[in-house]
Structure formats: C-alpha cells, structure tokens
Chains A and B, each alone.
Chain A
Amino acid sequence: MNRKLILTGLLICVVTLLSGCSEQQQLHQKLIVQGVSIDRNDEIYKVAVQALDFQNPMNEDEPSIKLMEVEGISVMEALDNISKQTSLRPVYSQNLVLILGEEAAKSGVSNFIDFFVRHCETRPKVQICVSKGNASEVIKIKSGEKFLKSKNIHDLVPIELNSDVLHFVSNLKNTKTDPWSAWLEVEDKNGIKSIHLKGVGIFKEDHLIDFLEGEEAFGFMILKGVPNFGSCTLNSEECGDVTCIIDKVVPKINAEVQNSEVLKFYINLDIIASTFSLDKNFYTHSFESISEVVEKKLSNKLGNICSDVINKTLKLGIDVFEFSKILRNTYPSYFKKIESEWNKILPNLEYKVSQDVKLKATGKEPV
C-alpha cells in the first residue's frame, strides 16, 4: 500500500514537473556568439558581436552570420543591450575570439575582462587579440558578400603564441609578469580589405603599451617558440640571397645568480630552419658547402633580432618573457629578497642570447 502511495506521489511529481521539452530553448532561438570586438570612445564601450543566426539561415546547411553593434558604459551593459536588437539569447560558450581596440586596450583591460573570466559560458581558451584603431573593423571585414568568419580570424593566431584569455589573465594576475596578445590589422589595398597577423601587442599590467611589428615581432615569436611567422632573408657574397623559414624553435631561458648578487639570464634558442631558395648562382652550390655559412649568418641575425626585442621590452619595464617566474622558480630565496625591487631591476637585466641553428635543405632541386 505504502509503495503504491509513494509511486503515485512520484508519478504526480513527474507529470507536473517534468513537462517534456516544450520549454526548452531550441538552437534557432539562440545566438551563437563566435567573435567579440571591444572599442572605447569617449568613456563608452562599443561592442561588435559576430554570431551564428540559425533563425534566418543562408541555406539549408549553413547558418547566416549576424553582426550586431551595441554600446554601453560597461562591456557587460553593452552585451546586455543585444537583447534590444534581437529576441535571440546570446550564448558565449562557442566564442572563439576577443578583439580589443587600441583605445580600449590602452585604457585598461581590467575594466572589462572580468566578464570573459567569470561568466559561466565563457571559456579560457578564447583567443585575445589587439588591433590598431578600431577592433570592430576586424570583425566587420567581409570576404566577398559575407562576413569573414570568426573561425578564420581565430585561425590566424598561432596556438604557440598563447594569446588567449587564460595566459593573458594569468600574467595579469601575477603582479611581476606582463601580458601580450596577437595584433591583427586590416589592410586596405585598392579597396580590397584583408586581415593580417601583423605582430604582437605588449602590455604593462593591463594597459597596452606598444605594438611590435616586422623584425621585432619576428624576434618575439621566436622567443615564444612560434615557428613559421614570416621568413628571414640573408645576404652574403658566397650564396647571394637566402630565404629561410623557421620550422621549429625551442626557447629555453635559464637564470643564474652568482655570489647572491649578479643576475644574468641565458636564453638558448634551438632552431631548425629550412630554405627553399638560393637566389644567386643556385646551380654552382652544393648544400654542404654553403649550409655552414648560412647557419652562421642566420644565427647571428636571429641573435640580434631577439636581443633587440628583449632590449625594447626591458627598457619599457615589461616582463613579457616571464623572467621573474623563471628567477622565482630557480632561485626562490634570492627572488624573495629582490621581489619588491623587481620593477627597478627589470630594465637593467643582463642577458645573453645564444642560438643553435640547423639548416635543412628542402625541395626537389638537386643542390
């Protein structure tokens, strides 16, 4: 009897409370956010959101890409204003990229990053990028008639660069290190716009300080272990112009403290490069005879490039290469003593870059 009573009670509960899926939100009722850009103008945050719209699909297989521009006193307020433009509920769990405009990044990322750390739907592996000028230009760029997908923008940033919310916030939270992020730029050539991974934006605490481009960006990428970021062209009398591509780079930074006083960092770069073109008298060379020359020249050039970028960041008092963490891990008691003075020590750090370059000859042509 008791069992029947309990079962009846449970049945009533099930019937009244579990009313199937009628109240569930369907995919077409959601706005699947793929990319967000944040700009700041006159104390107002302007947010552009690129999202997948399943309500008005382009065709049977593909949802349309919807772009919405909202603004508010805070980023959270701006994002909340999405509901004024659409009845769809924004879902952030599929967000791939967060692009920060120059002004927003310069005014301090801490003012708005919390949403991307705290919100239950956001994920820490969202790529974070900066852009000179307005970030919305990057997210609004079109490929033909359609918007360029956030996935394509996301794929421009090398994974090895660790330009994501996880590393950004981690370096921000550690008071001695500073964050960095990929720099994406829109280039307009004869009215055709395209996006490029131009370099890196470096921050002092949560403020964007400078952009690294060209050789500086190349050096930064090498020091972060990012291969295939552009190429390096060498010139010598022996072999003319040689263009090398960095296939693999393993940077190792070690700290050394002598007599509890002298502090020096040793940066070793293990590099494997390849070359596809020896542009002068290519038919007269054997690879063995010139590889040593090229390796030496490449090694010197990369050493100089890396030293230049380290010098630049140190002069700015920025620790993007995590020297403080390395010192803390190797000499904890020494670091504890100098921890409070780190910001004064940083610009005068001594370091030595050494590189071990191995050149691969690739291609079908016999050399």
Chain B
Amino acid sequence: MEKRPCISVGQMFAMLFVSRMVVTMTYGTLLIGDSDIWDHLISAGISFILTFLLVLPIYKLFKMDNKMNVFDNLRDLMGKYGYIFILIYVVYYLVVTLHTLTIFDNFISNAINPPISISLLSIFLLLSSCYGAYKGLEALSRTSTFIIVATVCSLIFLSISLFSSIETINFKPLMYNGYESVAEGTLYMISQSSCIVAMGLLLPMACGSKLRGIIIWNIGVYLSFALVIMLVVGTMGDFADTQLFPVYTAASIGKFGSFRHLDSLYLGIWICGIFLKTSLFLLLASEGVKKIWGEKIRRRFILGFSVILSISTFFIGNFSLLRGTFITEFLFFFLIFNVVIIPLVLIFLKKRKLSKEEKIFES
C-alpha cells in the first residue's frame, strides 16, 4: 500500500469545520427560498442527530479496516466496477467545488458588487485552491489550524457584538406556520454535509480518536448553526427575510465598543474558508483520479479541472440551476448515495469476503 500523508484528528476536523462554516455563513434566502429561518433551529437539532446516523456507515466501513479508505474498498471489493463508483465520488467532489464557487460568485456579485471582474476573482481563488490542492493534505491541514482559530474568534466576536441588539419579540413560536420550514431546513443542512463524504477518504489518514472528533465536530457545527440562527432572527426579525445573505447583514450591524461594521471581518474569514473548502475538495477529487489513472494524471487533473472551472466562472451566472432549490435536492440524494448506499454495499461485500476467507481458513 502506498505511503499516505498523516494528519491529526484535530487537523482533519478543523478542515471539515471550516468547510462547514462556509455553508453556515452563506446561509440565506438564496438557497433556502421562503423557508422560515427561525424554524431552522429545530432543523439544526434534527440534522445534528441525522448527521450522526449518516456518519455511521462510513465509520463502520472504516472500523472494519482502518487502513483503507472508500476508494481502496471500492477497488478491493468491486474490482474494475469499483472505478465507476470512484468516478461518481470524483464527480460529487467536483460538483461541491463548483457549487461553492457559485455561492462565492453570487455572494460577491450581490453583497459586495466590486468594480473588478467577478470571474477574475473566481479565477484567482481557483488558482490559489489549485496550489493548495497541489501542496497536499498536510499543508492544507496546517493552514486550517490558523483559519479555524480566526473563524472561532470571529464567531465569538460577532456573537458578543450582536448580543445586545437581540430583541426577544422577534422570536416567534417555533413551527408557527407548520412544519414545512423545518423539513426544508433539514433538507438544506443535510444536503450541505459534504464533509461526511470527505470523511470516507480522510478518516484513514487521521491519527487519534476519530469518534471523539466526529462528536465534537458535529456539536460544533450545529451549535454554531443554532447560534447564527438566533443572532440573525433576534437582531433582524422579519428584516432577515429581505436579505440574500442575512448572516453578512447581521455582521454589518454588529458593534462592540468602538468596533463597528464587522462585515469586513466576516468577509476575510469567509474567503479563507472558501479557499480551504475548494482546495480540499479538489484534492479529494484528485485522489480518486490518482486511484484510477495514477499520480501523474492526478497532478494534471488538478490543473486541468481548475482551468475548466475557471472557464466556467464566465458562465456561472447563467447557471440558475446551481443556486435554486433543485441543487439542494440533487446534493441531498447524491450525498445519501455516497454516504449510505455505497458504504452499506461495501460493508455487505466486505462481510461476505471476510466470511469466505474465514471458511477457507477453517477448511
């Protein structure tokens, strides 16, 4: 078996936490539509439990042989057919990268509207991500430790600055207009849990207690989601529904002593997170390519796909499909396929293989 990079569990979950915070910070009407944000507090609770359940098949598969990742298992148990499923994973990682890039594009054009070309900004982001993916997992994990400190500090700072502006009258009864918003919120939160798919590859590369890491990561992710929902609804009330990116708007009204307009802080952290997420998912996609075609193609793939994505940034504005409710459902089913169906099939095949081996050994 080839030599693999080794990172600590803390670094791995720091990367996944930052990748997830990108989703939390861009959470808003662009992706959830008319859904009631306040009801998503229940969605966060449900998603918290569901995430544990969704991690189980990947974790079980990893526990059966803690040196093999999903790609190794696919090749080992399915032979040549396994390559088809590896390609499906590669496509998933690329779709997530493209989706992240679309959110970046939408956010920049709607919330910032800079005088420079947005496509050019996306290209520079991709170039950096390409470089990040090229440098490998260890470099990315080291970067993530810096970014997570900044992310957590900014979240604490934002909470303190907005706390005095919370008006309890804005907290309406949960599920006042029925449970549709809860369902929509849960669907959205789970569909954005691409980190679980990433775990399929990263778990064998991490050293330390994975179970503890998963628990802390999941608590951190949904606690921060709940905190963000409370801050947004508490400070802005019905005004939040008029904003495409309410977390960004909330950051702009926060004040702490002489510090005001914390949206610039938000922007800095968020762009770091976007860089880390796109780098990580490009790297994971390239791992799949490496499994099928070898190391040489992997490097070309990173560069080649970055070029394709760079070109796509010129047309990304026309892909309304990538930011509508369709993409949420699509990502949800794609995720379920990758974290439940394939791992369960692999567990079944692995058990069958093990029992066969046992029988041969006994005979």
- CB nearest neighbor in B for A169: B239
B173 and A166: CB pair below 8 A?
no
A170 and B176: CB pair below 8 A?
no
- The residue from A10, A13, A170, A325 contacting B239, defined by CB atoms under 8 A apart: A170
A120 and B112: CB pair below 8 A?
yes
A 84-98 to B, binary, CB cutoff 8 A, 1 in contact else 0:
000000000100000
Residues of A within 8 A of B91 (CB): none
Check B187 for interface membership: any CB of A closer than 8 A.
Answer: no
B266 shortest CB reach to chain A, Å: 14
Interface residues of A in 301-345 (CB under 8 A from B): 322, 325-326, 328-329, 332, 336
- The residue from B115, B120, B169, B242 contacting A169, defined by CB atoms under 8 A apart: B242
Check A22 for interface membership: any CB of B closer than 8 A.
Answer: no
Q: Number of B residues contacting the other chain (C-beta, 8 Å)?
A: 24
- CB nearest neighbor in B for A121: B113
- CB nearest neighbor in A for B303: A6
Separation of A232 and B120 alpha carbons in the complex (Å): 62
Check A123 for interface membership: any CB of B closer than 8 A.
Answer: yes
A170 and B237: CB pair below 8 A?
yes
A25 and B115: CB pair below 8 A?
yes
Check A125 for interface membership: any CB of B closer than 8 A.
Answer: yes
Check B110 for interface membership: any CB of A closer than 8 A.
Answer: yes
B173 and A123: CB pair below 8 A?
no
Given A170-B236, A170-B238, A174-B238, residue A329 in contact with residue B112 (CB < 8 A): no
A173 and B252: CB pair below 8 A?
no
Residues of A within 8 A of B173 (CB): 328-329, 332
Interface residues of B in 228-276 (CB under 8 A from A): 236-239, 241-243, 249, 252-253, 261
A311 shortest CB reach to chain B, Å: 22
Residues of A within 8 A of B314 (CB): none
Separation of A329 and B120 alpha carbons in the complex (Å): 48
Given A117-B242, A124-B239, A125-B253, residue A328 in contact with residue B112 (CB < 8 A): no
A 103-144 to B, binary, CB cutoff 8 A, 1 in contact else 0:
000000000000001101101110000000000000000000
Task: Count chain B CB atoms within 10 A of each CB in A118, A169, A328 and give the residue with the most.
Answer: A169
Check A17 for interface membership: any CB of B closer than 8 A.
Answer: yes
B113 and A124: CB pair below 8 A?
no
Assign chain A's interface to a size class: 20 to 34
B242 and A173: CB pair below 8 A?
yes
- The residue from B110, B112, B113, B172 contacting A325, defined by CB atoms under 8 A apart: B172
Check B171 for interface membership: any CB of A closer than 8 A.
Answer: yes
A2 shortest CB reach to chain B, Å: 8
B239 and A120: CB pair below 8 A?
no
A329 and B172: CB pair below 8 A?
yes
Residues of B within 8 A of A117 (CB): 239, 242-243
A173 and B172: CB pair below 8 A?
no
Main secondary structure of the interface of A (DSSP, over half): helix
Separation of A183 and B170 alpha carbons in the complex (Å): 25
Check B111 for interface membership: any CB of A closer than 8 A.
Answer: yes
Residues of B within 8 A of A124 (CB): 236, 239, 249, 252-253
A49 shortest CB reach to chain B, Å: 19
A166 and B239: CB pair below 8 A?
yes
Interface residues of B in 8-23 (CB under 8 A from A): none
- CB nearest neighbor in A for B115: A25
A123 and B120: CB pair below 8 A?
no
A183 shortest CB reach to chain B, Å: 22
Residues of A within 8 A of B171 (CB): 329
B232 shortest CB reach to chain A, Å: 12
Separation of A118 and B120 alpha carbons in the complex (Å): 24
Interface residues of A in 10-28 (CB under 8 A from B): 10, 13, 17, 25
Separation of A271 and B280 alpha carbons in the complex (Å): 58
B120 shortest CB reach to chain A, Å: 7
13 further contact pairs, Cβ within 8 A, besides A10-B127, A123-B253, A125-B253: A17-B120, A117-B242, A120-B110, A123-B252, A124-B239, A124-B249, A167-B239, A169-B238, A169-B242, A170-B237, A328-B172, A329-B171, A329-B173
- A-B contact list, 16 entries, CB within 8 Å: A13-B127, A117-B239, A118-B242, A120-B111, A120-B113, A124-B236, A166-B236, A169-B239, A169-B242, A170-B236, A170-B238, A174-B238, A322-B169, A325-B169, A325-B172, A332-B173
Residues of chain B at the chain A interface (Cβ within 8 Å): 110-113, 115, 120, 127, 169-173, 176, 236-239, 241-243, 249, 252-253, 261
Nearest 8 pairs between A and B by C-beta?
Answer: A332-B173, A173-B238, A170-B239, A120-B113, A170-B237, A170-B238, A174-B238, A166-B239
